[in-house]
Structure 1
Amino acid sequence: MNNEFIMQMRPLFGEEEKKAICEYMDEDGFITEFKRTEKFEQMIAEYTGAKHCVVVNNGTISLTLAAMAAGIKSDDEVIVPNYTMIATPNSVKMFGAVPVFVDVEPDTLCLDIEKVKSAITEKTKAIILVSANGRYPKPGINAFEKLASDNNLALIEDAAQSLGSYYPDGRHIGKAGVIGSFSFSAPKIISTGQGGALITDNDEIAYKLRRLKDFGRSGGGNDIHDSIGFNFKFTELQACIGIEQMKKLQLRVERKKEILSRYQHHLTGVDEVNFFDQDLECTTPWFIDVLVENRDALQLFLKESGIGTRVMYPPINEQEAYRVSGEHPVSQSIGQKGLWLPSAVQLTDEQIDYVCGKIKEFYEVSN
């Protein structure tokens, strides 16, 4: 091993992205979204099997627009997992809806359906199902579809971490809900720096989304507005990068699965490290997530060994931004023991072996 610090995550851009941007700039384009953005949307739609794709400026706004297009209004309750990136509840809090926190399954970190059932009230209008690290809930997606249908709720899929992941029935994650949302922020499997995408097969929803992101006007480049909308448009420079990133997606999907398999192989038998239930036949891990004992000391040891890690999301209800009472033992446990190991797609086998060796060394010494 050389002395290069192994980051927990970093994006991967190459000459192809640089060339695409330079070629676009030579065309003297307006940079705001246009033909390249349309091509990027088409590539995502084709990859996921969706009828429509709408890209926006980030993955938080994509969830906000998804909820608005699904008819969620101020004071409506929206069920969200207590383990997720805080963007999930913030996205509906932004326009006055009320996020209701529900605990997650210990094996998948997806919403616990029985606890969702208990949280439904007369004010509940939607469920945001987060496919944590590309995983799907144990009862299966059909159980959530039925629950939403039986209670007249919108099922929105926060698939920010799930591009390249599928349900066992063959549908891409994000296709089961009325709308599926993806993120292209720096750590994701493909990145445009910032960015989000919404997929749907519903023509009316797609119509609403396109107007919500572009001032509510009837078409680009005019000032005729048939509804209220905002400005959450994409850019052609991001699209140039996104197009090249999409061309590399399938290779990254395969490599991400190889990375997790190698970690699991080398850390088998290390009782202090526990992996979650990842179906590698159908789903693609975004990060390598584990529960570990003596997390703080392990993090420090790995950092001193040139290895970066990151603490997993703490329980949202306990964060100062929300401070909502409730007992959520699974998400509380993640807040105490959850750790993301180095997960970049460009990790070499040698680096993974080094990380695993250092983890073993730590627990051998500490025991």
Structure 2
Amino acid sequence: MEDRFIYQMEPWIGKEERDAVCAYLESGGWLTEYRYTRMFEKMIADYTGASFASVVSNGTVSLFAALMACGIGPGDEVIVPDFTMIATANAVRWIGATPVLVDIEEKTLCLDLEKAEAAITPRTRAIMVVALNGRAPDMAALTSLCQAHGLWIIEDAAQALGARQKGRHLGTFGHIGSFSFSAPKIITTGQGGALITNDADLYDQIVKIRDFGREKPGMDIHIALGYNMKFTDLQAVVGIEQMKKLPERVERKKQMFARYRSNLADVPGVQFIETNPEDTPPWFIDILVDDRESLAAYLKEHGIGTRPFYPPIHTQVPYRGAPGEFPVTERLAAKGLWLPSSLFLTDDDIDRICEHIREFYHRGTRLAFQV
């Protein structure tokens, strides 16, 4: 249907999730975290290959908990890419440390490791690497870099559930990996986050941090500083059904990216980010164009939603004046556009979107949509 507006992203909640929620409510469950939360955590650990998984209230909280578990706080520095969702840098601020912004590499839109190494100081305690849109820098090289300098690796893999590098799931290369289950993600529980690790001591710290520092759940004996970051079983029953569908969704994301790229391969001015189709199911379909605002306006006129790339962190109000130079981030962030990426999209929908993009470039329409 040509008149159906195609949103850039929609969450996909099916009958299975609705039935599971109704069954849980009818069972008299207490809503808070319990048996289903533990089941959801096990599914995440099994899927990623991590030894431990702990779910929390959202993806920003998960980054905060990861930093806290690593003992990072006031006076410390954490290297963060300048191109990321602002929550990455905000979590570092929240813990009381200083986010040190570093430019990205053009190939992956992820942290430039050479520039990251140049930014290391005696106060640097960690690198928070972001798997932006399911892609990551060379994780073996990052591991070697951090080992050489005695740094923690925290992987912000919020956009990378289902993504791998050389067969290994992103989030498992570092000391702690963090995921998000907010509405646009490949699986969602409305809000929510998860931490994975292979380190039993870090896992023990995370479990205490998310539950007021309690020695044991339900007991008011507190042996560490902690907060209320807990998940709920009501969310977990949704998450369990979503996890059952994850392998199918990962494959569909790969198919969608391939169809977009094939349809637009001969369109001048449309550039795709280099992507390994075996490892990476891009969360959002991303392109680079010189006339982003004009193209977005044209697509909206034809019932198609898009979303511009994140602005560089150093241009956001809380971070203006941050030291450093960010030429790659500035150039690519200004050109980036996320196309419709919902799992609701049919092949016909993708073909329709691509046809309008082709029209925009091939028929001189772009001149009428200068904004």
Q: What interval of TM-score do these two structures reach, taking the shorter chain for normalisation?
A: over 0.9
Q: Pairwise mapping of residues 106-121 of structure 1 onto structure 2 (< 5 A)?
A: 106-121=106-121
Could you tell me which residue of structure 2 aligns to residue 32 of structure 1?
32
Distance in 2, matches of 1:184 and 1:271, equals 36
Using structure 2 for the length normalisation, give the TM-score: 0.97
Could you tell me which residue of structure 2 aligns to residue 81 of structure 1?
81
Is the 8 Å Cα contact of residues 161 and 188 (structure 1) preserved in structure 2? yes
Could you tell me which residue of structure 2 aligns to residue 340 of structure 1?
338
Deviating beyond 4 angstroms after TM superposition, the runs of 4 or more aligned structure 1 residues are none
Residue 51 (structure 2) pairs with residue 51 (structure 1) = yes
Could you tell me which residue of structure 2 aligns to residue 222 of structure 1?
219
Distance in 2, matches of 1:163 and 1:23, equals 27
Residue 91 (structure 2) pairs with residue 94 (structure 1) = no
Secondary structure at the counterpart of residue 80 of structure 1: strand
- 1:222 Cα offset (Å): 1.1
Could you tell me which residue of structure 2 aligns to residue 259 of structure 1?
256
Could you tell me which residue of structure 2 aligns to residue 360 of structure 1?
358
Identity of aligned residues (%): 54
Structure 1: where are the runs of 5+ without partners? Answer: none
Distance in 2, matches of 1:107 and 1:201, equals 29
Q: What per-residue deviation string (whole Å, max 9, x for no partner) do you get for residues 271-310 of structure 1?
A: 2111111111111110001111211111110000000000
Distance in 2, matches of 1:271 and 1:96, equals 46
Secondary structure at the counterpart of residue 154 of structure 2: strand
Q: Pairwise mapping of residues 147-296 of structure 1 onto structure 2 (< 5 A)?
A: 147-168=145-166, 170-296=167-293
Distance in 2, matches of 1:352 and 1:171, equals 30
Could you tell me which residue of structure 2 aligns to residue 16 of structure 1?
16
- 1:134 Cα offset (Å): 0.8
In structure 2, give the amino acid aligned to 1:71: G
Distance in 1, matches of 2:45 and 2:150, equals 27
In structure 1, give the amino acid aligned to 2:333: G
Q: What per-residue deviation string (whole Å, max 9, x for no partner) do you get for residues 137-170 of structure 1?
A: 1xx21110011011000011010011101110x2
- 1:104 Cα offset (Å): 0.7
Could you tell me which residue of structure 2 aligns to residue 330 of structure 1?
328
Number of matched pairs: 364
Q: What per-residue deviation string (whole Å, max 9, x for no partner) do you get for residues 216-246 of structure 1?
A: 0011111000111000000111001000000
Residue 136 (structure 2) pairs with residue 136 (structure 1) = yes
Distance in 1, matches of 2:316 and 2:354, equals 32
Distance in 2, matches of 1:115 and 1:356, equals 36
Distance in 2, matches of 1:23 and 1:269, equals 50
- 1:248 Cα offset (Å): 0.3
Secondary structure at the counterpart of residue 99 of structure 2: strand
Is the 8 Å Cα contact of residues 313 and 334 (structure 1) preserved in structure 2? no
In structure 1, give the amino acid aligned to 2:109: L
- 1:199 Cα offset (Å): 0.3
Secondary structure at the counterpart of residue 158 of structure 2: coil
- 1:136 Cα offset (Å): 2.1
Distance in 2, matches of 1:345 and 1:333, equals 30
Secondary structure at the counterpart of residue 30 of structure 2: coil
Distance in 1, matches of 2:256 and 2:85, equals 23
Q: What per-residue deviation string (whole Å, max 9, x for no partner) do you get for residues 83-128 of structure 1?
A: 0000000011002110000011111011111000110000100001
Is the 8 Å Cα contact of residues 72 and 95 (structure 2) preserved in structure 1? no
The two structures, once aligned, show a CA RMSD in angstroms of: 0.9
- 1:334 Cα offset (Å): 2.5
1:146 to 144, 147, 154: 144
- 1:26 Cα offset (Å): 1.1
Query: Structure 1 stretch 235-244 or stretch 68-77: which is displaced more?
Result: 68-77
Distance in 1, matches of 2:265 and 2:340, equals 17
Residue 4 (structure 2) pairs with residue 4 (structure 1) = yes
Is the 8 Å Cα contact of residues 314 and 334 (structure 1) preserved in structure 2? no
In structure 2, give the amino acid aligned to 1:178: H
Structure 2: where are the runs of 5+ without partners? Answer: none
Is the 8 Å Cα contact of residues 84 and 130 (structure 1) preserved in structure 2? yes
Distance in 2, matches of 1:50 and 1:296, equals 41
In structure 2, give the amino acid aligned to 1:132: L
Distance in 1, matches of 2:58 and 2:270, equals 33
- 1:319 Cα offset (Å): 1.0
Distance in 2, matches of 1:209 and 1:273, equals 43
In structure 2, give the amino acid aligned to 1:229: G
Could you tell me which residue of structure 1 aligns to residue 349 of structure 2?
351
Distance in 2, matches of 1:222 and 1:78, equals 34
Is the 8 Å Cα contact of residues 133 and 287 (structure 1) preserved in structure 2? yes
- 1:171 Cα offset (Å): 1.6
Query: Structure 1 stretch 350-359 or stretch 328-337: which is displaced more?
Result: 328-337
Distance in 2, matches of 1:281 and 1:54, equals 28
In structure 2, give the amino acid aligned to 1:34: Y
